[in-house]
Structure 1
Amino acid sequence: MSADVICKAYQATEDGFLSLVTKQWPMKPQIAAVGSCCLVGVICNGTLYVANLGDSRAVLGRAVKATGEVLAIQLSAEHNVCIESVRREMQSLHPDDSQIVVLKHNVWRVKGLIQISRSIGDVYLKKAEFNREPLYPKFRLREPFRKPILSADPSISMHELQPHDQFVIFASDGLWEHLSNQEAVNIVQNHPRSGSAKRLVKTALQEAAKKREMRYSDLKKIDRGVRRHFHDDITVIVVFLDSNLMSRASSARALIYPLEGAELTSLRIY
């Protein structure tokens, strides 16, 4: 396992989707505008590798013995042009394009279309041959581009797991839109292994309802096709770490996955 191996896996996924788009283009040209964020966590020999494309996020919960608190540590880098450093990165990569990032309806977007700068898919902003008719006009750029606008290169970090590392939350931006890193970690710490992922989703939905000045029960009644206007999709995975297994992995240098349990909850709204 290495960062290079993970990069190759991402590229293979990107190439596979590009092949699918190429085959489907004559019958389903709108597939060229389909894309996804991609957050990956791999634990090998006591090291946690976190790779990310887009604006999903991985957050570690680390116990502080002196206070009994659990500290939230963000492990992933995000690629959303609402972040100033990401805007600067895009501008440096495309110095000849003054419209590479545009403020539209008070939201920064790449070419006025999409918020993320890296993804799997979205080939209409990576391959000029797919940015044309019969793709819907709202996706087509007025001028052709010579090099990819979006990237499929993940940001990768490596973290040597310690006995006081308790769990990792992997979640899409639908969660982080409503909860801070520390708020999410506190929820998991206060309700370990008892539906933590579901609690995170429910709390985020309660916050979304509050921002709309409505009740949570009323938000739940809204049809999913309409709820897209109230909150984004939310996917959460909580992985609990076992310090005993990590200790044995460190001493034996064996391939041990130090996971005591994991929970997954996903809410999709189309």
Structure 2
Amino acid sequence: MLSGLMNFLRACFRPRSDRYVHSNSDSSGRQDGLLWYKDHGQHFNGDFSMAVVQANNLLEDQSQIESGNLSLHESGPYGTFVGVYDGHGGPETSRYINDHLFQHLKRFSTEQQTMSVDVIRKAYQATEEGFLSLVTKQWPMKPQIAAVGSCCLVGVVSGGILYIANLGDSRAVLGRAVKATGKCCPFSSHLSTMLISRSIGDVYLKKAEFNREPLYAKFRLREPFKKPILSSEPSISVHQLQPHDQFIIFASDGLWEHLSNQEAVDIVQNHPHSGSARRLMKAALQEAAKKREMRYSDLKKIDRGVRRHFHDDITVIVVFLDSNLVSRASSVKGSNISVRGGGISLPPNTLAPCTTPTEAGSA
């Protein structure tokens, strides 16, 4: 049933801050105005690139790539974890997910000694419960936090299997080579496009006790509700990777507002590996400028906050798949890599041991 993949549409513990490494070197990315990018890095299953552009006063997109040991024990499993978290109403929820979701996943994979749909689902649930606890504590002083939420797109590659989990309107697109033509095409699952009806956070739409004062009136629903309006249960697909599966594009909806699946796949195929995420970002921003009848160079001069009138925060992570590495057993050890979108990296020694494209997604 899940032989295909994949577009997902419309969509604990934080290490001490002094353990982070901030740098403008290639090791942790470069900054160009509101654009941060890392053109090349290596993960457990191949290469990757990342790019993030800020539009809001506070960056509401958060993202990460974690590679190596996906559990708390040296026995593994090993692989690559990718997360794109598109916040709304503020950055609190996406930041919380960035700090906790992967740690929960490592904890549950340790308990089960494997990677699985159940491990991912439990990690989402623990993250949701943790953020609810945070909202409950902060509610009297900061009631608006009950109206902050985030979409949550996760990809895990381990033991030759690709897991994709999604809440909301972010999207993952798998680029697959077609033998007859040599062209790369998006490869999709059965899921259909829907409006956002799932998220982490947005507690005031899940727990009626938060849909009242002191939450600001502009957020509150007039009619009381007995059942949650939004869900935090992710849609999860499982795909056995094949040698002709070339790469996966993970991106928040800010990219997909301006590029189709096929356009994005073509850009990556025509300029593979180094800088792919930045090329996708530039193409999306050029299209955003074109829609407003302005030059790309002028769009780049617009400061954050005002920039939000032209495009959203955008996050792009392109993960290339080396079939020789993907086919390795999930227990094979590899060096640990941890990169946060925006240029915060953890060095290894601080880490704990074509047809017409169709779209698919989860809401």
Q: TM tier, shorter chain?
A: 0.7 to 0.9
| CA distance 1:194–1:171, change in 2 (3 Å) | same
Contact 1:188 1:196 in 2 (8 A): yes
Contact 2:140 2:214 in 1 (8 A): no
SS at match of 2:309: coil
Name 1:201's counterpart in structure 2: 281
- Cα–Cα, structure 1 residues 41 and 80, in superposed 2: closer, same or farther, change >3 Å? same
Question: What secondary structure sits across from 2:277 in the alignment?
Answer: helix
Give unmatched runs, 5+ long, in structure 1: 82-115
Q: Deviations over 1:126-176 (max 9, x none)?
A: 011111112111111111110100000000001100011110000000000
1:27-46 matches, within 5 Å, as 27-46=141-160
Match of 1:167 among 247, 260, 284: 247
RMSD over aligned CA atoms reads: 2.4
Note the C-alpha offset of 1:262: 11
| TM-score of the two chains, using structure 2 as the length reference | 0.59
TM-score (norm 1): 0.79
Provide closer, same or farther for how the CA distance between residues 257 and 169 of structure 1 changes in structure 2, counting only shifts above 3 A.
farther
Alpha-carbon spacing, 1:254–1:121, altered in 2? closer, same or farther (3 Å): closer
Deviation at 1:265, TM superposition (A): 6.1
Query: Could you say if the C-alpha distance between residues 264 and 184 of structure 1 is closer, same or farther in structure 2, counting changes exceeding 3 Å?
Result: farther
Partner of 1:186: 266
CA drift at 1:65? 1.7
Task: Give the conservation status (yes or no) of the 8 Å contact 1:70–1:189.
Answer: yes
- Identity among equivalent pairs (%): 79
Where relative contact order (Cα < 8 A, 6+ residues apart) is larger, the structure is: 2
Paired residue secondary structure (2:310): coil
SS at match of 1:224: coil
User: Structure 2 stretches of 5 or more lacking a match?
Assistant: 1-114, 344-363
Aligned equivalents of 2:207, 2:176: Cα separation in 1: 42
How many angstroms apart in 1 are the aligned matches of 2:293 and 2:216? 35
Secondary structure of the residue aligned to 1:221 is: coil
Instruction: Give the superposition deviation at 1:78.
Output: 7.0
Q: Which amino acid aligns with 2:276?
A: S
The 5 Å alignment of 1:200-239 reads 200-239=280-319
Alignment CA distance shift 1:266-1:60 (3 Å): farther
| 2:175 matched residue in structure 1 | 61
Partner of 2:331: 255
- In 1, Cα distance between equivalents of 2:216 and 2:190: 33
Task: State how 1:107-146 maps to structure 2 within 5 Å.
Answer: 116-146=196-226
Alpha-carbon shift at residue 263 of structure 1 (Å): 9.4
Cα separation, 1, equivalents of 2:190 and 2:133: 28
> What is the deviation of 1:74?
3.6
1: distance between equivalents of 2:244 and 2:340? Answer: 23
